[in-house]
Structure 1
């Protein structure tokens, strides 16, 4: 019998070293960081620094750690990552902390990897599932998706302060829900297709189950959590949704896999029309596109569109700034979404560019019907497009 020389496909599950969530969690960041290094650097924009420094200063003092901030430039671009890596090396820092949202956290991961030191996620919003993962989304200087960058380890520590999450605009939490709802839609597609995940293995049952758990929690708790956050409140529903958005979705997308929803997100970043949307808002357009593309039952598509519209997420191309564009603009989106290496190729079938464009076009009607059923006003085109 001839020897099988093909490498076996392994199942892989990845996770951060420790996850800490709750109101007041940032007040413990110093003691949590102390085992990881003695010269941390905190990467944050001016707004986040202003909000957190008063809490972090006494926390770092108690842990006998210096509190050193570096100003974040706004996007995880190659140049910004390189700049922060040089700051880390020049300052002799032995751990880097991304403070704020997903872009600062992704930049800290990449710069920490370049510098050869551990990285930590300290989230003040629950707007993406970036904090737990061993990858960064790298953008071009003008805000378009450039590539995924993968690492051989996850953050050493993830800290999410739900007091800060509740104090932030509710749109951040809504966007995180859009990002997290896609996790199950994509993970089940990857499981059906026996495709590989973001950690270069077949999906584990654990990763797929956590993706489904995130979905279930959001359908149960998202409306009440958003209502609470509108009033700055931390409730059990808020805690549940933050965990679903951050931990469960993070583990679920990484070890369960991505498919068309995030590929369409990446495609949407290729045109300036959509730059007013947050990551999770673009992902929600991608989720609807994937459901249409897969031929999901109309009742399922309509239910999802109505649910997410009620949560304040965009469900039409009009809200994305693409309602009246010609095919040439959507073809740019589709070309980026279907580029070699994109996660749309994890589907069990290979959609043509025309099929993807038609699915995108179909989202408009789906979303408009959903808004009417929900009693919401007609979608509006953002200013400038």
Structure 2
């Protein structure tokens, strides 16, 4: 199997970068569909409009329906065709951006991505996570290429709720551990090859940045400012995690997240928050050292990421609930089979309960 690494065509990051959006988008198309939620678009609509008008670009605004589902993707494609649009600009969080990528792929037009929160690694990836209209995980849609442009304005990111930023760190936290598992298992990555040394280094750099700057970045975000620590963690959450996961692969942490979506009480937890707990489950499955696990626990506690089932919404833990999660985690085709050892619902069930016990014990140490 060949080694393959993929990435966005262009990545732009910095305070007030939105002012240059029109300049970067203009070579890609002339009539844009701007897709985003009301909150995400509301945060940047005036700046976005001014930048596009400066380049004399026509655009139509369409509000995102709330779930990256097949009906929502089809609806957006219909809007594109009805208005003869030739580029889509996705604005907002992970689900809106995944919908924009999937709709662009279906309509065969370029896509530019403008995240307003650094909450997932969705912006850079050639992947859309598809859910049912009710919010239950459905499938992964692997796209033939990454976004044509990813533009991240860190001044805008700094105005978003800190919890969203922290959730992005939870998603990024899994990157190195999943990449490491896939490399040990010689598992295929998202573009269908093996990981390059460069992709593994980016995944490890993502982890190192979180450990060094994550807590300081969170404190800065709580004050609504973008320090150099914030810049580094935004890059880790967005670019390094995105490149690391898709060019190295996913493993147990994200599969456990997908398993948790079968429990409605976890829907109030963000993607990265559930992935964070999934990372702890993966470390238990791998029987990592106490030092490695405690380093992750310490980091999660410092920034406010969940390390117990209760913290992701499961206040009443029952065997039946956890078995359902374990079985969904081990569904055919799930990424948990990229672990370098045999896994099944029984071992995942045990690891979830053990991870919860470890998290609860750690919190009691204070």
Where on the TM-score scale, by shorter chain, does this alignment land: which range?
A: over 0.9
**Equivalents in 1 of 2:114, 2:294: separation in Å?**
36
Partner of 2:142: 150
1:139 and 2:149 correspond:
no
1:122-157 deviation per Cα after TM superposition (whole angstroms, max 9, x unaligned): 111100000001010000111111000011111000
The match for 2:258 is 266
- Aligned counterparts of 1:206 and 1:258: Cα–Cα separation in 2: 16
Structure 2 CA distance for aligned equivalents of residues 195 and 137 of structure 1:
20
Aligned partner of 1:5 in structure 2 is none
1:120 has 2:112 as partner? yes
1:107 lines up with 2:99 in the alignment: yes
> Does the 8 Å CA contact 1:306/1:367 hold for their aligned counterparts?
no
1:322 deviation in Å? 2.4
- 2:7 aligned with 1:15: yes
Judge conservation of contact 2:309–2:317 (CA < 8 Å) in 1. no
Structure 2 Cα separation of the partners of residues 56 and 309 of structure 1: 36
Q: TM-score scaled by structure 2?
A: 0.98
DSSP-derived class of the 2:6 partner: coil
Structure-1 residue corresponding to 2:246: 254
What is the rounded CA distance, in whole Å, between the counterparts of 2:205 and 2:65 in structure 1? 35
Structure 2 SS opposite 1:295: coil
Structure 1 residue 117: Cα displacement: 0.5
The answer to whether the 8 Å contact 1:323/1:364 transfers is no
In structure 2, stretches of 5+ residues that fail to align are: none
Distance 1:370 1:303 in 2: 11
The counterpart of 1:78, out of the listed 58, 61, 70, is: 70
| 1:267 Cα offset (Å) | 0.4
Say whether the 8 Å CA contact 1:43–1:96 is kept in structure 2.
yes
- State the 1:329 CA deviation: 1.2
Asked if 1:361 corresponds to 2:349, the answer is: no
Query: Retained in 2: the 8 A contact 1:305–1:366?
Result: no
> Runs of 4 or more off by more than 2 Å in structure 1?
321-325, 369-373
The equivalent of 1:94 in structure 2 is 86
What does 1:235-246 align with in structure 2 at a 5 Å threshold? 235-246=227-238
Secondary structure of the 1:248 match is: helix
328, 334, 355: which is aligned to 2:320? Answer: 328
Q: Which residue in 2 is equivalent to 1:53?
A: 45
Partner residue of 1:30 out of 17, 22, 25: 22
2-structure distance, mates of 1:352, 1:148? 21
RMSD: 1.0
Task: Please give the secondary structure, in 2, of the residue aligned with 1:167.
Answer: coil
State the secondary structure of the residue aligned to 2:311.
coil
Residue 323 (structure 1) shift: 4.5
Task: Give the conservation status (yes or no) of the 8 Å contact 2:269–2:313.
Answer: no
Matched residues in 2 for 1:118 and 1:251: separation?
Answer: 19
Counting only pairs closer than 5 Å after superposition, residues 101-250 of structure 1 correspond to structure 2 as: 101-250=93-242
How far apart are 1:119 and its partner, in Å?
1.1
- Which secondary structure does the structure 2 equivalent of 1:147 belong to? strand
Cα distance, 1:321 vs structure 2 = 2.4
Q: 1:282 & 1:158 partners in 2: Cα distance? A: 25
Contact 1:306 1:371 in 2 (8 A): no
The 1-side partners of 2:6 and 2:81 are apart by 28
Note the residue ranges of structure 1 that are not aligned, 5 or more in a row.
1-8, 376-385
Distance 1:352 1:255 in 2: 25
Q: Which stretch of structure 1 is more off in the superposition, 318-327 or 197-206?
A: 318-327
Q: Secondary structure at the match of 2:112?
A: strand
Q: Does 1:295 align with 2:250?
A: no
